[in-house]
Chain A
Amino acid sequence: MKNDLDRDLSLSLEESSPQASRLDAAHLHAHDTRIHRQDRAFSTRENQAHALSLGGYRALSVLVAVGVILVLLWGVMDLPAFGRDTNPVENEVAERYLAQGLQEGGATNLVANMILDYRAFDTLGESNVLFTAATAVLLLLRGLQTREADRSLAAAAPEAPADPILRAGARALCPVILLYGLYIILNGHLGPGGGFSGGAVMGAALILYREAYGSEKMGHLFSFRTYRAISFFALAFYALSKAYSFFTGANHLPSIISTGTPGAILSAGLILPLNIAVGFVVCCTMYGFFALFEKGEI
């Protein structure tokens, strides 16, 4: 008797359960559509507000942009015409640089004379700015990525080998680019070029080599110790040698640095060594930036 009742109950339960679930589903569906409808109503209202604010934002941004353009154009109107000899930039300083540069600096490239002799203090500041920027990136990225690397050291996969076209191209191009960079640096006092541009070219060659042959192989040639040593010695040499030349110049003392014959490769006093120092700092910084951004270490 009890068993029969149980069976009946279970049967009725079994019969009713699909219905109930269907009912539930229908109910849920109705609920869902209601929610959806509410959502749509809500979103259209929000969309209108959003569109209004977006339109206002666009109108405001166009207004601000037009205002800035007008102000800038107004300022440009007062600029003197390009290249006229009565312009304020054509003053006695530039004349002095052009007239006396060859005798006082000794470099046939008068631009090198200006940036590494007359304005050498500014260039020292520029080199230090680059070095400081690299140090800041180092501080920010190095600590961050070593912690990540510790966590995923086991999961770290070996670097995928680079494309064969890239490898062959790098093998052919890297020596030529490096040589060209060296030429720009060493020829900086005789023709166009100098430490900054030559260093950037050499840095680009190092980056190309790293991309083609991987950071592992590059590590043998250029490690963090190399970076530290080159940056320190180049900047220290720059500061000390320029300090000597400022000291003797300001006190009217005889200096052991002679300007030599203009046009010879070993001439122009301190300009050639300073070019080499700046070139090394720039090269290391360019490569260091790339390595830090790519992997978090040099």
Chain B
Amino acid sequence: MEMVMTLLLIIVLLNAIMVVRTKHLLAACIIFMAQSLVMVLIWILLQSPDLAITEAAVGAGVSSLLFFLALKKIQAIDQGKENSAHEK
């Protein structure tokens, strides 16, 4: 159990770094979503299923939806590939 926890915490840390490092906005949103899903597993391991349900619904669900909506509004979803190629 200790091993699983350490692994999950390392994944959270890597995710957090990758969210900032990615140039691709859509990919950053999806990594942020994955971060929430890993946090759900951590909450379950810490025996707080209430928090896990809320984190899954709000963190991975609704807030990611709002991020995608914002990307759609600034038209960054379709041009994401070109943008990332340009910035490299």
Chain A residues in contact with chain B, CB under 8 A?
Answer: 109, 111, 184, 192-194, 196-197, 200-201, 203-204, 207, 286, 289-290, 293-294
Contacts and interface: CB of A to CB of B under 8 A. Distances in A.
Interface in B15-29: none
Contact of A192 (B50, B57, B58, B70): B50
B65 interface: yes
Contacts of B73: 293
19 contacts: A109-B50, A111-B48, A192-B53, A197-B53, A200-B61, A200-B62, A201-B57, A201-B61, A203-B62, A204-B57, A204-B61, A204-B65, A207-B62, A207-B65, A286-B62, A290-B62, A290-B65, A293-B70, A293-B73
Interface residues of B, number: 15
Interface in B57-85: 57-58, 61-62, 65-66, 69-70, 73
Contact of B53 (A184, A204, A207, A293): A184
A290 B58 contact: no
A58 to B, nearest CB: 15
A197 B69 contact: no
Interface of B: 48-50, 52-54, 57-58, 61-62, 65-66, 69-70, 73
Tell me if B's interface is mostly helix, strand, loop or mixed: helix
Nearest to A200: B57
A200 B58 contact: yes
Contacts of A293: 66, 69-70, 73
A207 B58 CA distance: 13
- The residue in B48, B65, B70 that gathers the most chain A C-beta atoms within 10 A of its C-beta is B65
A208 to B, nearest CB: 9
A196 B61 CA distance: 13
Nearest to A112: B50
B53 A294 contact: no
Contacts of B48: 111
Contacts of A184: 53
A194 B50 contact: yes
Contacts of A207: 62, 65
B49 A192 contact: yes
A203 B57 CA distance: 9
Nearest to A207: B65
